[in-house]
Amino acid sequence: MRSEGILIVVSGFSGAGKGTLMKRLVEKYDNYALSISATTRTPRQGEEEGREYFFLSREQFEKRIADRALIEYAEYCGNYYGTPRDYVEKELSCGRDVILEIEIQGALKIKEQYPEAVLLFVTTPSAGELRRRLSGRGTETAEVIEKRLGRAVKEAEGIERYDYIVINDDLETCVEELHGIITAAHHTPGRNGEFIQTMRRELEGDQIEN
């Protein structure tokens, strides 16, 4: 039994470990397609065009909005971020599970457009650990770190709108929990309509024959 591709939205406080988790998840399992977003923020050291993000100017980004080339977009700490439509639609139609690693405003827009999407929220075990990871990553200035922690306070108000919350304490355990939740989502009756119909037809045929 294998249901069609699921749209999975992963959000979480900046520094919770979403990027690290997603990288490990796609390394370990080959049924996931990780969407690459467009952004106007500048690349961090080690980030590559088309690998972590498509890095665009504000003008280029606004053109994508006007062309309806993004299925959602949001402003986060002074920059635009958005999900390209083509990739998501193509991969879903091929039956793959598509992961969007996006912030909460985008997540809620996705849920409106794709009510069957599964929304996961990733957090650290504590606020202290969040601050440690965000500072320890060493990619943002002190000012940006404070902005992102301020944003976390707002995001925490929306956690109940997600379907699942996952605590990223031990990385491998968390990867397994994420994979387990997605696997379970494939087993809902609503995602296995075709199988259920076939089974019913077979059972009815069996009754007529006997």
Residues contributing to the site for ligand ADP (CB under 6 A): 12, 14-20, 133, 136-137, 168, 171
102 lies in the binding site for ligand 5GP (CB under 6 A) = yes
Given a contact cutoff of 8 angstroms between Cβ atoms, the answer to whether 131 and 87 are in contact is no
91 binds, among ligand 5GP, ligand ADP, none (CB under 5 to 8 A by kind): none
Whose Cβ is closer to ligand ADP: residue 5's or residue 22's?
Answer: 22
61 lies in the binding site for ligand 5GP (CB under 6 A) = no
171 binds, among ligand ADP, ligand 5GP, none (CB under 5 to 8 A by kind): ligand ADP
Indicate which single residue of 32, 76, 114, 162 sits in contact with ligand 5GP (rule: CB under 6 A).
Answer: 76
Kindly tell me the sign of the dihedral angle through the C-alpha atoms of 91, 163, 25, 179.
negative
Cβ neighbours of 167 (radius 10 Å):
16
17 binds, among ligand 5GP, ligand ADP, none (CB under 5 to 8 A by kind): ligand ADP
186-194, long-range: CB within 8 Å, 24+ apart, which pairs? 186/1, 186/2, 186/3, 186/6, 187/1, 187/3, 188/3, 190/116, 191/3, 191/4, 191/6, 191/116, 192/1, 192/3
Task: Name the residue with the smallest CB distance to ligand 5GP.
Answer: 106
168 binds, among ligand 5GP, ligand ADP, none (CB under 5 to 8 A by kind): ligand ADP
| Secondary-structure percent of the chain, ordered helix, strand, coil, rounded to 5 | 50, 20, 30
Question: Distance between CA atoms of 146 and 4, rounded to whole angstroms?
Answer: 41
In DSSP terms, 121 is beta-bridged to 11, 165
106 lies in the binding site for ligand 5GP (CB under 6 A) = yes
92 lies in the binding site for ligand 5GP (CB under 6 A) = no
Whose Cβ is closer to ligand 5GP: residue 70's or residue 175's?
Answer: 70
**How many Cα atoms sit within 13 Å of 154 on the Cβ side?**
11
Contact footprint for ligand 5GP (CB under 6 A): 14, 37, 41, 72-74, 76, 81-83, 101-103, 105-106
